[in-house]
């Protein structure tokens, strides 16, 4: 049953879906999610440093956003609403809508629709990612679908916070990785309870 659902979601959403820098599990009511990725000393030519922040308004509904620093001056930020519409022991599915703006440009993108997923593989290991349909602000021009997929390992948890590390790949829409279609990513994720 789960395999059929996952295949159906992944196949159909690549036609018109969204994603980006997040997974399908909500923060939970009154909890903060913080994700940090650093590109120290701009070591990776196409890399960026970014901070993602989410807050659970209810157990299924979050506000979330990010700020991305890119050493070539294309810093951007995003703000959106996130809704987890399916939750089971092994699979979480969510959708979101949001707006991305660039700090030094008038460019604005609408991220809609989005599909975000988290699949629990083992006790401390999950597969997560997203599909994001990126459109211009008036929604009449579809730019493309950004995709990311990553493995998330639960590193540490106590009564106050939970720490995960992730490693994965990102398929961008607005730029081409130097080799192939996918770019490697990593992050440190902290959930504050």
pLDDT at position 123 is 93
Query: Which tokens go with 62?
Result: 């979050």
The mean of the pLDDT values for the chain is 84
Across residues 91-119, what is the average pLDDT?
94
Domain that holds residue 17: 2-192
Based on the number of CB atoms within 10 Å of its own CB, is 98 exposed (0-12), middle (13-18) or buried (19 or more)? buried
pLDDT at 133 over 60: yes
pLDDT at position 94 is 97
Q: Are residues 94 and 25 in contact, defined by beta-carbon separation less than 8 angstroms? A: yes
Q: How does pLDDT run across 169-182, given as a tens digit for each residue? A: 999 898 888 888 99
pLDDT at position 178 is 82
Across residues 44-52, what is the average pLDDT?
79
Confidence band for 119, pLDDT divided at 50, 70 and 90: very high
DSSP assigned state of 114: E
DSSP assigned state of 139: S
Q: How does pLDDT run across 55-64, given as a tens digit for each residue? A: 999 999 999 9
Confidence band for 158, pLDDT divided at 50, 70 and 90: very high
Return the percentage of the chain with pLDDT > 90, whole number. Answer: 55
Q: DSSP characters for 51-72?
A: EEEEEESSSSEEEEEEEEE-TT
Q: How does pLDDT run across 10-47, given as a tens digit for each residue? A: 333 332 222 335 789 999 999 999 888 877 777 777 77
| Nearest Cα residue to 132 out of 174, 167, 92 | 174
Q: Which of these ranges, 10-14, 21-25, 50-54, 89-93, has the smallest mean pLDDT? A: 10-14
Q: Are residues 22 and 130 in contact, defined by beta-carbon separation less than 8 angstroms? A: yes
CATH of the domain at 34: 2.40.160
Tokens 């997929």 found at: 149
Number of domains in the chain: 1
């Amino acid at each position: 049953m789960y395999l059929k659902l996952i295949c159906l979601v992944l196949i159909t959403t690549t036609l018109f879906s969204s994603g980006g820098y997040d997974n399908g599990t909500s923060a939970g009511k009154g909890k903060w999610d913080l994700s940090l990725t650093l590109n120290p000393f701009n070591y990776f030519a196409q890399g960026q440093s970014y901070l993602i922040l989410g807050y659970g308004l209810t157990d299924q509904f979050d506000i979330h956003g990010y700020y991305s620093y890119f050493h070539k001056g294309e810093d951007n930020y995003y703000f959106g609403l996130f809704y987890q519409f399916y939750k089971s022991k092994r699979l979480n599915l969510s959708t979101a809508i949001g707006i991305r703006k660039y700090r030094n440009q008038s460019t604005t993108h609408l991220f809609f629709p989005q599909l975000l997923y988290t699949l629990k593989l083992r006790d401390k290991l999950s597969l997560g990612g997203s599909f994001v349909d990126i459109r211009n602000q008036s929604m009449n021009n579809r730019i493309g679908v950004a995709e990311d997929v990553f493995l998330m390992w639960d590193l540490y948890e106590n009564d106050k916070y939970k720490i995960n590390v992730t490693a994965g790949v990102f398929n961008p829409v607005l730029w081409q990785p130097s080799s192939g279609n996918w770019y490697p990513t990593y992050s440190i994720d902290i959930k504050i309870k």
